A and B are shown apart, each in its own frame.
Chain A
């Protein structure tokens, strides 16, 4: 699998480490339930999925990578805070079943 790093170009996935689902928002405040959801609940998408990847053997950037979990097709990679919004983000899961942030 090759990942198109916006800084380094097309690089082998072996140079990266992954941290799973991207776009999760860290709660403010001290609500235990909100923090527990943030830490422990993940969407397990079959289809297009946005994930966090770290270019450990490259530029040390954390990237949002949109990858199809069924085909491993990569649809894009962006620096985390320059990631465009996308309808594909929630994958094929109905929006109302997604856990509350």
Chain B
């Protein structure tokens, strides 16, 4: 390998592995670093100090920090489908082949045309969006927003699908230690020795926190050695789990914490079978926040020049990464960190030009330079002078990192240690929030304009609203505002930090729930069979149901559905209805229970008979419908609609456990236990007779309409038969245990071949139910009563039945209510559209003339024209009336005749043959 030198790498200090060299690219140029580097430290070792352009003014920016609080050094990482914008160079673990790019600059990082924004700064003060782009309003979407988005973009997201996978996991512990620095590791050891189950999580890839960054010994050992020693001890404790590269990003209720483990981000791509990241939910009996502190920047003119860094970060680069962040340094602090940093720099051989301490009356007025720091202008003893330097290490003291504590709603305690906050008088920009380019002037302007509450100030200036959530800026902003208001810091209050602590990819929250796995897919027992027949499927909740079965030459769904309907009405067809909710209900009080949860009576239902059943909500609206079959004196099989299967079951449990626990009844959902097929059409009996074993006979006398029975198939399978009909034809529903479903449908099709048996799907099912005027989901909207649907005769006046009292409210029995009607076009060539509204002829298309709407439509192959169902005010009185069915959205206006909702065989003779 042709290695280029790393000119700013220290000869011996640092915890990097100098034997492992890695090549990487930044803005297309190749550099080298070592294992243990971050992208930031490796760039710094190569003398690359300009890493990006700022959000608003496109100012040149370098590294401010060495950790996850970094506001400046945001880069685009990786390429193509794995390209990720806005990653912080300070936390990217270097790997061989890493490719990164600077952001928000054009044409290049050194020369960025967008920097002209800096000259237009008077336009871009606090609230400039609201002031500048006021007029004309239509310009927002077409002109301003696209312009602003292009100018203020922070990197580009990948446009391809994410090739990586993400996992989710739960973990439980007695003690969760957040942060693997000195405090965290000591706490873990102590709790671990007591035998507690401990999880220690740290966002870093190396344990030790500041132990790795300071020259101060710990327990008499160099920091890194002390860490190695305690890690060896922790490894002996089986109940202590160490989770490096894991950010605890949120603290939630009941001790639940969200954490993101970066399983593969330190590799060029995940190893086979490994996820990129893992989203943990860690449930902890108690939590220790050993999250350390974040150093405060100092505020002065042009304090964002590349080369102005936090003093703690300077020490980190020096001690942990063996990197010299500059050649000639000025140290500037309002606390003891200044002297410490100066000593460390000198020890590493860096020339320290000055140590400025505000407590000794010295301060920096402004930084000098453009894309790199060239010096500082300082004020000392009332005099101003300039010092040349390429590094300014600054420290405004440390603030405890309390983000996770505030997730629970607790406010950060007032920082009593905050010193007087002096902002120098300068014409230059003094940045407070580096990532969102918010300056001292912006804060003062916002205050002047009346945004005095810190919450308003935050939203108006966008301070602290960037992806770093103001980790380095919030406290400084509060101090400046407090100063301007002449208040103590505690009085101005503070804004709340919210999860996530650092950005989390949406992919991690989605986990495996993407694409088709977004939710589970439920397949019917005949799915494979239907697929082999070329069925087109439709989603019904989680189910995939066969919608229709096109055959050769059919290129239009209507042709197929029409054929299927005609085949059923003239011969026999089979449809998988296994998706209907099925509840097996048993017990001495089963009848009493059913008579409370359904509006109907069941006392009179004989064993071996079925009944259509209507379930009401307590407010009197129809909740669901289905059939109740009495399999024995104390045993019933209840069906619900496909859509309401879960809700109806839950409601029955509510009725039993909460309302009437004294009723002796037990029930369970058996929806997925049974494969159930509707066999419908004039030839249905003939077909079924061929598969049932002797002596079962399906003759009308032995097995009439609404009969039900257990029986045995010729091949010995136990089965159930219900003579119910949704299509209006002679029909049966045959059920076998689910794993026998595919065999049964094959058997039925073999047995029915000479009868011309067809498969039909949910479309044909829908057409036939509309022809028969049966209500379904489109009519059971939750706003309709039994009265509205013409089912009032089913509702017995019994107070104990759910919904029966409120269904009797006078207003719900008014004839003016929209009620079920049928409709057909006056001109039979015309098509009908569901959702059209009923308007009188000659009336204006306004809401005041609206008298109802069309709920369901279908082309009726039996009648040869389109038909529909609808809810129409005074509907039952208006059969024969001609109205308009108007759909303004899609531009349809059709004359329709109102009629009885039952279009076919109103006497029901076909289903009783």
Contacts and interface: CB of A to CB of B under 8 A. Distances in A.
A2 to B, nearest CB: 4
Contact of B253 (A10, A72, A81): A72
Interface in B707-762: none
With most chain A CB atoms within 10 A of its CB, the pick from B253, B255, B654 is B253
B657 interface: yes
A95 interface: no
Contact of B654 (A10, A12, A39, A62): A62
Contacts of B805: 30-32, 35
A36 B806 contact: yes
Interface residues of A, number: 29
B618 interface: yes
Contacts of B456: none
Interface in B778-800: 799-800
A24 B808 CA distance: 22
B46 to A, nearest CB: 48
Contact of A62 (B255, B646, B657): B657
A61 B281 CA distance: 25
B230 interface: no
A39 B799 contact: no
A20 B608 CA distance: 40
A19 interface: yes
B650 A56 contact: yes
Contact of A2 (B256, B654, B659, B661): B256
A71 to B, nearest CB: 8
A100 interface: no
A26 B254 CA distance: 33
A98 interface: no
Contacts of A81: 657-658, 661
A35 to B, nearest CB: 5
A5 interface: no
Given A30-B805, A32-B809, A35-B806, A2 B657 contact: no
A85 interface: no
A45 interface: no
A32 B806 contact: yes
Interface in B652-686: 653-654, 657-659, 661
A54 B650 contact: yes
B557 interface: no
Contacts of A74: 254
Contacts of A30: 799, 805, 808
B174 to A, nearest CB: 14
B283 interface: yes
B411 to A, nearest CB: 15
Interface in A1-40: 1-2, 10, 12, 17, 19, 26, 28-32, 35-36, 38-40
A68 to B, nearest CB: 10
B252 A80 contact: no
Interface in A36-76: 36, 38-40, 52, 54, 56, 60-62, 72-74
Contact of B254 (A2, A17, A29, A62): A2
Given A1-B252, A2-B283, A28 B809 contact: no
Contacts of B252: 1
Contacts of A1: 252-254, 256
Nearest to B797: A30
Contacts of B112: none
B619 interface: yes
B658 A80 contact: yes
Interface residues of B, number: 23
Nearest to A1: B253
B798 to A, nearest CB: 10
Contacts of A10: 283
Please classify the interface of chain A as helix (H, G, I), strand (E, B), loop, or mixed, using the class held by over half of its residues.
mixed
A52 B651 CA distance: 12
B597 to A, nearest CB: 13
A52 B650 CA distance: 12
Contact of A80 (B256, B619, B657): B657
Contacts of B650: 17, 54, 56
Given A2-B254, A80-B661, A81-B657, A39 B808 contact: no
Interface in B164-184: none
B619 A39 contact: yes
B659 A29 contact: no
B649 to A, nearest CB: 8
B592 to A, nearest CB: 15
Contacts of A72: 253-254
Contacts of A61: 657
Contacts of A35: 618, 805-806
Nearest to B800: A28
Contacts of B253: 1-2, 72-73
A38 to B, nearest CB: 8
A56 B661 CA distance: 18
Given A30-B805, A39-B619, A19 B254 contact: no
B654 A19 contact: yes
B799 A29 contact: yes
A39 B806 contact: yes
Interface string B348-363: 0000000000000000
B584 to A, nearest CB: 14
Contacts of B255: 2
B283 to A, nearest CB: 7
A60 B653 contact: yes
A97 to B, nearest CB: 24
Interface string A73-88: 1100001110000000
Contacts of B800: 28
Contacts of A32: 805-806, 808-809
B654 A54 contact: yes
Nearest to B660: A26
A39 B661 contact: no
Contacts of B619: 39-40
Nearest to A72: B253
A62 B661 CA distance: 11
B658 A52 contact: yes
Contacts of A29: 799
Given A1-B253, A1-B256, A72-B254, A62 B658 contact: yes
Contacts of B281: 12
A17 B255 CA distance: 20
Interface in B608-664: 618-619, 646, 650, 653-654, 657-659, 661
Given A1-B253, A2-B254, A62 B806 contact: no
Q: What are the 4 closest A-B residue pairs judged by CB atoms, nearest first?
A: A2-B254, A72-B253, A1-B253, A62-B657
7 contacts: A26-B659, A30-B799, A30-B805, A30-B808, A31-B805, A73-B253, A81-B658
Given A1-B256, A54-B650, 18 more contacts: A2-B253, A2-B254, A10-B283, A17-B650, A26-B618, A28-B799, A28-B800, A29-B799, A30-B799, A30-B805, A32-B809, A36-B806, A38-B618, A72-B253, A73-B253, A80-B658, A80-B661, A81-B661
Interface of A: 1-2, 10, 12, 17, 19, 26, 28-32, 35-36, 38-40, 52, 54, 56, 60-62, 72-74, 79-81
